[in-house]
Amino acid sequence: DEVSSTCPQIKALSHSPRLASIASQLVGEDVRFYSDHVFAKNPESEAGGDTPWHQDFPHHPLDRQGALNIWIALVDLTPEMGTMQFLSRSHRAGMLGRYFNRRDDVTLIDEHPWVLDEFEMSPPISLKAGDATVHDMNVIHAAPANSSNTPRWVYSTLWLPVSARYTGASNHRTDPLGLTLDMPMEHPKFPIIPTR
């Protein structure tokens, strides 16, 4: 979590006008940098299991849609390494609830099986190191287990529309920051990144 806070080289990328410009064009307004992560999915033989279908948005204290995730391959990735798949245009379904890491093991598909009929599943993707995917944080997505012998390494940045406001919902990232309910997410951790 928040790799850019400890690594100046990563911060130069995560806070770059180029990434902000991409995010801003897709969101349709200026954007705030929200968070970044490095994800490693180990081979299945080393607990690199599947990531179930979920949406990212329900896990964040935001009052509106439009937040997005830029997911950058750090190594060449093949489908065997557990690359993401998406239910295309599923952001149109709206927020369907929190399902990632639930204690009762109920999945999004258990409660909303209709999404598999309503939205087309993207094919597994291959990415070269430096390639990226971008998805709205309400797009339903998943990743199979890593059946290769090589870890899957990716760098992810999350972006918010500047108009997004804080709902007060519990989140490890925002709880200790003293944000004001129903106000913009104004905090040094969430800077508006210039696009030039």
pLDDT for 116-158, tens place per residue? 999 999 998 999 999 999 999 999 999 999 999 999 999 999 9
Collapsing DSSP states into helix, strand and coil, what is residue 33?
Answer: strand
Give DSSP secondary structure letters for 40-92: EE--GGGT---EEEE-SGGGS-BSSS--EEEEEESS-B-GGG---EEBTTGGG
Q: For residue 102, what pLDDT is reported? A: 66
Give me the chain's average pLDDT, please.
93
Dihedral (Cα; 85, 58, 51, 113), 10-degree rounding: -70
Q: For residue 66, what pLDDT is reported? A: 92
The domain spans of the chain are 3-171
CATH class of 3-171: mainly beta
Task: Choose the weakest-confidence range: 4-8, 77-81, 98-102, 166-170.
Answer: 98-102
Q: For residue 2, what pLDDT is reported? A: 85
**Residue closest to 14 by CA, chosen among 155, 179, 172, 164:** 155
pLDDT for 54-74, tens place per residue? 999 988 999 988 999 999 999
Q: For residue 196, what pLDDT is reported? A: 87
Distance CA(57)–CA(84), nearest Å, equals 16
Q: For residue 183, what pLDDT is reported? A: 95
Classify residue 127 by its DSSP letter. Answer: B
pLDDT for 9-23, tens place per residue? 999 999 999 999 999
Name the pTM for this structure: 0.91
Percent of the chain with pLDDT over 70: 98
Structure confidence at residue 106 as a pLDDT band (50, 70, 90): confident
Q: For residue 120, what pLDDT is reported? A: 97
Q: For residue 14, what pLDDT is reported? A: 94
